[in-house]
Amino acid sequence: MKLKTEIPVLILCILPLLYLSYIWDALPSKIPTQWNIKGEIDGWGGKNSTFFLSAFPFFTYLMMVIIPKIDPKNKLAQMGSKYTQLKFMLVAFMSILSLSILYITKTQNFDNFKIELLIGLLFLGLGNYFQTVKPNYFIGIKTPWTLESETVWKKTHQLGGKLWMLGGILIVICSLLLSKQYIGYTMMAIIAVISIIPIAYSYFEFKKTKQL
């Protein structure tokens, strides 16, 4: 792990903490901690809960550093820059999410918070990434059939990657056009479709390989 490549990710980790220290005195005593499928706040916490929220990027980074070290076949370490890109993508998502929640908490402008937009962009990025990811035990569409056959893994991730990109685009569009009353259900339906199809596809592709 080269320090030079880690610096941008580490900066993303500390941004929410720096922003929190800047706005601390302006934060209300009551902080939203969770939203339901309709986009409504259904959980609140004290002001100190923002410390945990601000640490989300760091926890994500720590997990991404540990996983390659426990990979039994050392596949992730062999991915090189591809794994670094994924680590940056996930930490960036968590950093933006943390900053967004801190900002709307400070301004009390909860109605304009579009977490669905961020989720859509994440699926778009992951879909593009999945089309090139190599077989491993931690990242990707891991079914008994993709893990059994490298050919099935490759075909499943090519299809799944395109579906996740399409799903991400649809979620982004829906987040901009639909009301909060409907976007949650629509997003869950899109995620279900783009998740189930690759799983089923991997099974049928595996069956094909056994018939050859």
Please write the tens of the pLDDT for every residue from 180-195. 778 888 999 999 999 9
Kindly give the interhelix angle for 3-23 and 56-70, rounded to the nearest 10 degrees. 150
Q: Please, what is the average pLDDT of the chain? A: 88
Does residue 77 surpass a pLDDT of 80?
no
3-state secondary structure of 48: coil
Phi, psi of 34 (to 5 degrees): -160, 155
Over residues 166-185, mean pLDDT = 90
Which pLDDT value is given to residue 46? 81
Confidence of residue 161 (pLDDT cuts 50, 70, 90): very high
Per-position b or e across 159-190, b if 16+ CB within 10 A of its CB: bbbbbbbbbbbbbbebbeeeebeebbebbeeb
Q: Cα–Cα distance between 20 and 135 in angstroms, integer?
A: 39
Does residue 163 have a pLDDT over 70? yes
pLDDT digits over 140-160, tens only? 999 999 999 999 999 999 999
Q: Which of 149, 151, 153 is nearest to 133 (CA)?
A: 153
Angle at 125 between CA 140 and CA 184, to 5 degrees: 90
Measured distance CA(171)–CA(118) in Å, rounded: 9
